[in-house]
Chain A
Amino acid sequence: MGQSLRLGPALCWLALSAPALADTPPTTQDLHLDPAWLTLMHYQQDTLGGGFTSQADDSAFFISDQGKHAPKAELEATLSAIQQPGSGDSHAQCRFPARTAWLKGQLNLSLPAVDCPAYESWTETLNTETVTLVFAASYLNSPSSMFGHTFLRLDPPQDDDETNLLLANTISYAADAAAHDSEILFAYKGIFGGYPGITSVQPYYEKIRLYSDIEHRDLWEYRLNLTQAEVDLLIAHAWEIRDHNFDYYFFDENCAYRLLALIDVARPGTNLLGEVSTHAIPSDTVRWVVDKDLVSDVYYRPSAATSVTYSLESLPEEQQTLAAAIANGYVDPNAQEIQQLAPRQRAHVLDATYDYVRYQSEADGWPREFAAPLSHNLLMARSDIDDAPAPQSPPQPEIRDDQGHNTFRASISAGQQAHREFTELTLRPAYHDVLDPPAGYRRGAQLQFLRLDARYYTDNDELQLEQLIGVEIRSLSPRDQFFSPLSWQVGFGGRRSDNGSKRVLTPYLEGGAGGSWLLGNHLQAFAIATADLEIDDDLRRGYDAAPGADIGLLHQGNRLSLIAGAKTKAWIVSSQHRQDEVYIKGNWHLGRAFSLFAEFTREDHYDRYQSTWQTGLHAYF
């Protein structure tokens, strides 16, 4: 950097301020409004007034004192600073290599050569040829992981046997939460600000351990088609933001957001940040990156959980039983039943059992006194088998997470409630329910945010808020002989509730837990014990609570998704009465952008029978 010409800084400055000779004189006149400069400095246009504010919350990120709000002053200060003589890591050229490179290119500057030992050793160590965007997908029984997570992997040149992606470094941006903060405080500060966001560099194997082994999340690796020059700029900018604070906000300025900014810097004009409106869901940000033709190829890395499930499923049935028996300590890994298997099959059984024991130890906390000697015996037995093929890795899902339906849903429908006709409009900003097109999402998982249903009753021209869901999470994870996850649900919001005389909008809180069992490829049965709480001044005591149950069948197919079941609730506080309901709801998927839906419920409440039916169209965008 800066090693071509060695003109004095004073001369440079003169040339800049009096650009009279060149045919198209480079000028700083409007350079501070260049999108590339605004991106490099993380400036965003203020909502009010025409000013700019940088998202960097750290004075050391700027050279000018007014840098946070003054793109022009910052640009001028930077220009002057990078042309100062001097050397060493504290020189502006060393602290801000991406800005230096960009200004140099824009203004044809001849900068003094500056030695930056720290930066140079950093880039040399990172040794990056290509950049890969890694997306950590959600895991079934953890709908809270549904939004996913993204980070960048810096891949070394892959021209010989010496390269290994496990050792490649990654760049990620995350909230630097104090370990002692409670989850409530964590959520509060995350939403309203208060956590510094930090950029960290870690080897990929550490990331794999966290996401793939501990959190059971599959990883999708999207190799970006950045040129070497663009990669260098990205690395240079990562250096600039590395130790600086950008306040972290879960919904918009989150892990994914800052990475988009890095890509925007690397390839000016990409403007990925322009896609962000109110929130940046990591899986959506992956879509944008794909849509902007930034991806050259995609690689799937199944999590430990996915691999062990696949490995167990691909065993013949009697060997599955054998694996379960070994894992539970009923059969020794060297027992006769195992020894008599052909070497290849024995290897498969031992491999699958070992992976299962490790998985259960991590996920279910099997005690070490039991799991460690068993693990050791399994590996000892396995090491005696030569030349058995490595376990097959699970196939890549046909539909990637970023190829699933879009997360914003709007629906229009018509129906009838107790003989009153209505039309209904529903808006749901995020994310997925069990009847939406399942491809690219985890089966049985549901996460809805801020869903609003508005009804217009045609008989008396009345517009009513039917329900407003704050959050609704549902996780129906099937149980089998190896895994016994809990199915659970939780939600809160406001909904119309029949108080005997009229339907009033009532705040509610609901939850439930139970089990779910696979009956076929796409079909599962579930049984959930539920609890409901409603608060309303029309109720005799101001609130009411109901234990209950929800039992049903769920089919999730690429063409048709269907749920049918029966719910019962026994209200016990303000008034003692039963509320029973049978329901069937179906969505017919027309590609991934639209679904036709219909639902019917019949309810017995306050000893009255009532039917509701409704049919309409969901659109995803």
Chain B
Amino acid sequence: MKKLIAGAILLGASSMALAQPGCGVGAMIWKGQSGIAPHVLAATTNGTFGNQTFGMTTGTLGCQTNESVQSMALYMDSNIDKVARDMSRGSGENLDTLAVLLGVDAADRDTFRKVLQDNFATIFPSSDTTSGEAVDAIVALLEQNQSLSKYVAA
């Protein structure tokens, strides 16, 4: 199942230019959407424009090899604002999605949420944090946790 979900998320992203998820800086938090000024007619008529924004930038540092972590990185890249929000609250559907992508068992979910909320400042040290940095920080935090380290083992 985990693999399927990872596949699903990759399927959605397959049209976008990306080298390898979990391998690079990713999107900066609160970067905002470029070109969001709603096209009045597009909104009416539901056209899709070719230049959908997808702020994926790739690098070569810190490649994650764990497939679940890659999926999480990909999700974070698209949803970093909402993930950060849910993380600060210690609850929310985007946090649940991260847990699903990492395959965190129901029994460990509370710990998972708590660790991420308590370490918000470590994961997002500044307002210029990128999704790649946040992913690396999350992985490092989970690795140190006895019950959660198994979910990010390479």
Contacts of A156 in B (CB 8 A): 4-5, 8
Binary contact readout A164-189 vs B (1 if CB under 8 angstroms, 0 otherwise)? 10111100001111110001001100
Complex alpha-carbon distance, A176 and B49, angstroms: 7
Given contacts A125-B7, A161-B100, is CB(A362)–CB(B36) below 8 Å? Answer: yes
The residues in A between 274 and 314 inclusive whose CB is less than 8 angstroms from any CB of B are none
- Contact string against A for B residues 91-121, beta-carbon threshold 8 Å, 1 for contact and 0 otherwise: 1111011011101011001000000011011
Contacts of B33 in A (CB 8 A): 214, 362
A169-218 contacts to B, CB under 8 A, are: 169, 174-179, 183, 186-187, 190, 195, 198, 200-203, 205-206, 209, 214-215
Contacts A373-B127, A375-B30, A379-B85: A144 and B47 contacting too (C-beta < 8 A)? no
Chain B residues with CB below 8 A from A195, complex form: 47
* In-complex Cβ contact of B51 among A124, A179, A203, A368 (8 A): A179
Asked, given contacts A183-B40, A373-B127, whether A383 binds B47 with beta carbons under 8 Å apart, the answer is no
Contacts of A386 in B (CB 8 A): 90, 117
A306 → B minimal CB distance (Å): 16
Q: Name A183's contact: one of B32, B39, B88, B124 (CB within 8 Å).
A: B39
| Bound Cα distance A386, B119 (Å) | 12
Choose among B2, B29, B45, B92 the residue that contacts A162 (Cβ–Cβ < 8 A): B2
Is B61 at the interface (CB under 8 A from chain A)? no
Q: Given A126-B8, A183-B40 in contact, is the A167-B47 Cβ separation under 8 Å?
A: no
Query: Does A118 make an interface contact (CB < 8 A)?
Result: no
Q: Which one of A125, A248, A358, A387 lies within 8 Å of B8 (CB-CB)?
A: A125
Binary CB contact string for chain B from 37 to 71 against chain A (1 if under 8 A, 0 otherwise): 01111111111111100000000000000000000
Contact B127 A375 (CB under 8 A): yes
Are the C-beta atoms of B44 and A147 separated by less than 8 Å?
yes
| Nearest residue, chain B, Cβ from A163 | B100
Q: Which residues of B contact A142 (CB under 8 A)?
A: 38, 40, 43
Q: Is A255 an interface residue (CB 8 A)?
A: yes
A370 → B minimal CB distance (Å) = 11
B44 near A175 with CB under 8 A, answer no
Write out, one digit per residue, whether chain A residues 561-580 have a CB within 8 A of any chain B CB (1) or not (0): 00000000000000000000
Contact indicator B38/A376 (Cβ below 8 Å)? no
Residues of B contacting A149 with CB < 8 Å? 46
Which residues of A (340-375) have their CB < 8 Å from a CB of B? 347, 351, 354-355, 358, 361-362, 368, 371-373, 375
Choose from B12, B29, B43, B47 the contact partner of A202 (Cβ within 8 Å): B12
A174 to B47: give the CA distance in the assembly, Å: 5
Which residues of the other chain, A, contact B109 by a CB distance below 8 angstroms? 161
Contact with A along B3-14 (1 / 0, CB 8 A): 011011101110
State whether the Cβ of B143 lies closer than 8 Å to any Cβ in chain A: no
Please, what's the 1-or-0 string for B124-145, where 1 marks a CB less than 8 Å from any CB in chain A? 1011100000000000000000
Closest to A216 in B: B38
Total chain B interface residues with beta-carbon distance under 8 A: 61
What chain B residues lie within 8 Å of A406 (beta carbons)? none
In the assembly, what is the distance between CA of A450 and CA of B49, in Å?
A: 28
Contact of B1 among A147, A162, A351, A354 (CB under 8 A): A162
Q: Contacts A162-B1, A371-B30, A382-B88 hold; do A209 and B78 have CB atoms under 8 A apart?
A: yes
Question: Closest CB of chain B to A139's CB: distance in Å?
Answer: 8
Contact pick for A354, options B85, B99, B121, B128, CB 8 Å: B85
- Most-contacted residue by chain A among B40, B51, B121 (CB, 10 A): B40
Contact B92 A390, beta carbon cutoff 8 Å: yes
Cα separation A351 to B89 with both chains bound (whole Å): 8
The answer for the CA separation of A179 and B51 in the assembled complex, in Å, is 6
Interface size on A, residues (CB 8 A): 68
CB-CB under 8 A from A162, the residues of chain B are: 1-2, 5, 100, 103
A212 shortest CB reach to chain B, Å: 10
Contact A254 B7 (CB under 8 A): no
Q: Using Cβ atoms and an 8 Å threshold, which residues of chain A touch B93?
A: 164, 166
* Chain A residues within an 8 Å CB radius of B126: 376
A96 beta carbon closer than 8 Å to chain B: no
Find out whether the CB atom of A164 lies under 8 angstroms from the CB atom of B100: yes
Q: How far, in angstroms, from A382 to B118 measured CA to CA in the complex? A: 10
Give the complex CA separation of A163 and B2 in angstroms: 9
Which of chain B's residues have a CB closer than 8 A to the CB of A179? 49-51
CA–CA, A371 and B128, complex, Å:
12
Closest to B28 in A: A372
Query: In this assembly, does B87 line the interface, its C-beta being within 8 Å of a C-beta of chain A?
Result: yes
Chain A, residues 73-86, CB within 8 Å of chain B (1/0): the string is 00000000000000
The smallest beta-carbon distance between B38 and chain A, in angstroms, is 6
CB-CB contacts below 8 Å: A133-168 with B: 142, 144-147, 149, 156, 160-164, 166-168
CA distance in complex: A162, B71 (Å): 14
Whether A190 pairs with B12 at a CB distance below 8 angstroms is no
Residues of A within 8 Å of B120, CB to CB, are: 379-380, 383
* Residue pair A255, B46 in contact (C-beta under 8 Å): yes
Choose among A169, A354, A383 the residue that contacts B12 (Cβ–Cβ < 8 A).
Answer: A169
Residues of chain B within 8 A (CB-CB) of A390 are 89, 91-92
Q: Given A125-B8, A179-B50, A186 and B41 touching (CB < 8 A)?
A: yes
Contacts of B11 in A (CB 8 A): 125-126, 169, 201
User: What would 5 more interface pairs be, CB under 8 Å, given A145-B44, A174-B48, A175-B46?
Assistant: A125-B7, A362-B33, A375-B127, A376-B127, A379-B87
Instruction: Give 20 pairs: A residue, B residue, CB < 8 Å, sorted on A.
Output: A145-B44, A161-B106, A164-B100, A166-B97, A167-B5, A174-B48, A175-B45, A177-B49, A183-B40, A190-B41, A203-B8, A205-B75, A361-B32, A362-B33, A368-B31, A368-B32, A375-B30, A379-B120, A382-B89, A390-B89
B→A interface (CB under 8 Å):
1-2, 4-5, 7-9, 11-13, 29-33, 36, 38-51, 75, 78-79, 81, 84-85, 87-94, 96-97, 99-101, 103, 105-106, 109, 117-118, 120-121, 124, 126-128
User: What are the 6 tightest A-B residue pairs by CB atom distance, in nearest-first order?
Assistant: A383-B120, A203-B12, A376-B127, A379-B88, A144-B44, A372-B127
**A residues bordering B, Cβ < 8 Å?**
124-127, 142, 144-147, 149, 156, 160-164, 166-169, 174-179, 183, 186-187, 190, 195, 198, 200-203, 205-206, 209, 214-215, 248, 250, 254-255, 347, 351, 354-355, 358, 361-362, 368, 371-373, 375-376, 378-380, 382-383, 386-388, 390-391
